[in-house]
A and B are shown apart, each in its own frame.
Chain A
Amino acid sequence: MVILAALTAAYFIFSGTSLPSMAKKPVNEGPKGLASFGFEEPDALKKWEEKVFKGRVIYSVNKTKNNSYLNAYSKSAASGIVHWLKFNPKEKPMVRWKWKVTRFPVKSSASSSGNGWLEKEDYAARFYIIFPKFPFFRLQCLEYIWSEDLPLNTVITNQSFGNLKLIVVESGTKNLSQWVSVERNIYEDFKRAFGRAPSEAGAIAIMTNANNSDSTAEAQYDEIEVGYAK
């Protein structure tokens, strides 16, 4: 019995085969990064820390027959989830993820006027790379957004926090309810947005919000891979 168990264990170890219960869907087919999030496990959100800004967005791991993903549902709320991860963006500058927007926040016509900038700050899908600094108010942040109205590759500076640069990496509603893959070089994006090289990154974050427009937004995230060389 012992010999049989040892032989079985040896087979799995040397053949590189996983036990069925340990089998894990590969995040995606590209190079592996410092951190991967496929949201397969029901407790996948334990690796993330919730930060409530205004009201609570419901983040949950949803499963379909072939896939599992992170779902974010915001009803007039703004809260995000953070994963602490230190890495050097010069050495491992690449990051990729998949996202899908199923509902954009409804912004009133005032959004297009000068006073409506706050409502414009609502985005169905946001992906953050946070660069902590000393003291804290020097913190820098790259934020990749899916905007329904801004042109692709637009870089904007947040009006209330100058060190927050938003980059539009998906634009329009034509891909509504479709998975879209994004791959970015954060080192190059940072240099383009801030005009200088980034320091060490300290965290990644995700947020879906609709608090300013007092509406509803919903997005899904999956196959997040952070910190790999091109």
Chain B
Amino acid sequence: MQNNRRARKYLGTSVQTKLLFLVFFSAIIPAAIVGLCMYYFIFSMMARQMMFPEAIAANLMPVLNRVNVVVLITLPLSLVLIWVVALELSHRIAGPLYRMEKDLDERIKGTRQGPIILRKNDELKPLADKINKLMCK
């Protein structure tokens, strides 16, 4: 059985780059805003509840330090995970587009004949099928 998977996830096209950053920042920005607000408001409200510096130092600062350690460990992992997901999502759109563009170029040059073949689950397969029908006319 032919391995139909594309080896390269990042094709370097401007469409994929734009999609990659769009997905990445769409996930990062709201998460960062919500996270920072939660982080700040929870600790601020707790500090206001305690108010006495001795109480803040004894009760709140150790919790804050522990939370900071957890954030420092999980933040890079989360960023990598979101980057991988963004790369995969952008690839699902940009990959078939790249393939179709390449196939069409070859057909224009006359070095290739026949229909454009995309993978069964490709997002742009219906569009490729319509182009194939158009080319057959």
Contact = CB atoms under 8 A, between A and B. Distances in A.
B54 A53 contact: yes
A95 B54 CA distance: 22
A163 B56 CA distance: 11
Contacts of A61: none
Given A80-B52, A139-B47, 4 more contacts: A78-B55, A121-B54, A137-B61, A139-B56
Contacts of A163: 53
Interface centre among B43, B51, B56, B64 (most CB of A within 10 A): B51
Given A135-B40, A137-B61, A137-B64, A160 B47 contact: no
Contacts, number: 59
Contact of A137 (B47, B48, B54): B47
A51 interface: yes
Interface string A58-100: 0000000000000000000010101000000000000000000
Interface residues of A, number: 23
Contact of A161 (B51, B57, B64): B57
Size category of the binding interface on chain B: 10 to 19
Contact of A51 (B43, B44, B52, B64): B52
A27 interface: no
A128 B43 contact: no
A207 interface: yes
Contacts of B85: none
Interface of B: 40, 43-44, 47-59, 61, 64
B50 A53 contact: yes
Nearest to B55: A53
Nearest to A139: B53
A137 B52 CA distance: 11
Interface in A141-167: 141, 143, 158, 160-161, 163-164
A7 B20 CA distance: 83
B54 A51 contact: no
10 contacts: A121-B54, A130-B51, A136-B48, A137-B61, A139-B56, A158-B54, A161-B54, A161-B61, A164-B54, A205-B51
Interface string A34-50: 00000000000000010
Contacts of A197: none
Interface of A: 49, 51, 53, 78, 80, 82, 121, 128, 130, 135-137, 139, 141, 143, 158, 160-161, 163-164, 203, 205, 207
A164 B50 CA distance: 14
The 3 A-B residue pairs whose C-beta atoms are closest, nearest first, are A136-B47, A161-B57, A160-B57
A141 B52 CA distance: 9
Nearest to A118: B58
Contact of B43 (A53, A136, A158, A205): A136
A54 to B, nearest CB: 8
A205 B49 CA distance: 13
Contacts of B40: 135
Nearest to A134: B44
A114 B55 CA distance: 22
Contacts of A205: 51-52
